[in-house]
Structure 1
Amino acid sequence: MESPDLLENGNIPQQRKFPCCQVAFCTLIFVLIMISALVSIVFCLLHHKQTPESCWAHGSFKEPSTSNFQGAMSWEWNLQHCDGFVQKDHDQYLIIEQSGNYFIYAQVNRKQNMNESFTVMLYKEPSIPLNKVVGSNIGGGKGTLNFGRPFFLQKGDKLYCQGNFNLDYIVSGNQTYWGLYKI
């Protein structure tokens, strides 16, 4: 009995041959992927911009030259990376030059007990209160108030801090300050 032609070499694997066009196609796909990756890298390198530093404005309380009763406080300002975002106006104010979210913080230290509550207010002109912090008027002679929170500020807003106390009661320098940074 003779085996049919179909089974003659049925158990022996036959070698597969890739036609020339299949090899060329695979090579072309590989080259295109490599070129695409290279173009992406070059594009990123050419158009990459460094993230700008955050604007940070920090004011340390300036000791008043004369006995000064309640009023806007004067500050020694240090503005970093704030061109186009914030500018100082005299020693008392910060002016917002670009609308956006800002984190505002403050700390005020008093030197001695007071007759009334120790209050610090952050205002936006014309006398619009943004934040008010009230502390104890007694307690070991010294006391501290502080706050920090985000605000959305508009271009042109003019900010200042004010207290309800004689400024001679306040510790100057780096223990009493306020400022903001752009978020």
Structure 2
Amino acid sequence: MEAPHLTRNGNTSQRRKWCKVALYTSVFVLIVISFLVSTVFYLLHNKQPQGTCWAHGSLESYTPTANKGTMIWKWSLKHCQGLVKDHNEHLIIMESGDYFIYAQINRITEMNESFMLMLYKEQGITLNKAVGPNNGSENGTVNFGRPFYLQKGDKLYCELNVNSGKILLGNQSYWGLYKI
């Protein structure tokens, strides 16, 4: 009995091995190329800044008036380019989304009336208000913090109902937000 000839010239199994190697190499190269292309596409189209946008204002000056006071803030914005812009007493929202807003005001001495901190969007649209103590200790604090959905173009600002200069400036009184 004679063994069957599987190959005519004896090299067919050798060619099959090279075809398999070429096929596997081609598949591997295509996977690597598709990964690189998708990574480059993601990096080019993802315009979010690195880190979380955080805008923090310390009270620089407070000028009391009859019912309220003008509050000027010293702003520090981190990673907020294209998201939030500061303008003296206002923060202007440049991109719609969820933001966590916080505020704290400290008074220096006991007062006859309670003091109230109000957060507004635009003129007269109250987002939040918190009432601080008027007596009990020499100084008092009012603060709040909560999330809000804000639209592009919203202007935010804080006011007090205190008509005296008994508010602490600098790091003792502040407000700000971060994008969530």
C-alpha displacement of 1:127 = 0.4
C-alpha displacement of 1:25 = 5.3
Give the equivalent residue in structure 2 for 1:13: none
Aligned positions, number: 165
Q: CA RMSD, aligned part only?
A: 2.6
Structure 1, 165-174 or 29-38: larger mean CA deviation = 29-38
8 Å Cα contact 1:99-1:153 kept in structure 2 = yes
TM-score w.r.t. structure 1 length?
Answer: 0.76
Question: Are 1:61 and 2:55 matched, yes or no?
Answer: no
Identity of aligned residues (%): 48
Query: Once superposed, which parts of structure 1, at least 4 consecutive aligned residues long, lie more than 6 Å away?
Result: none
Give the equivalent residue in structure 2 for 1:123: 120
Partner amino acid, structure 2, of 1:38? V
Question: Are 1:138 and 2:135 matched, yes or no?
Answer: yes
More strand by share: 2
Partner amino acid, structure 2, of 1:153? L
Query: 1:87-146 CA deviation, whole Å, 9 max, x = no partner?
Result: 223x21122222222211111111111212221110112201000111221232112222
Name structure 2 gaps, 5 residues minimum. 1-11
Question: Are 1:46 and 2:40 matched, yes or no?
Answer: yes
8 Å Cα contact 1:135-1:144 kept in structure 2 = yes
Give the distance between the partners of 2:15 and 2:143, measured in 1 at CA. 75
C-alpha displacement of 1:160 = 0.9
Give the distance between the partners of 2:136 and 2:14, measured in 1 at CA. 91
Give the distance between the partners of 1:108 and 1:164, measured in 2 at CA. 12
In terms of Rg, which structure is larger? 1
TM-score w.r.t. structure 2 length?
Answer: 0.77
C-alpha displacement of 1:161 = 0.4
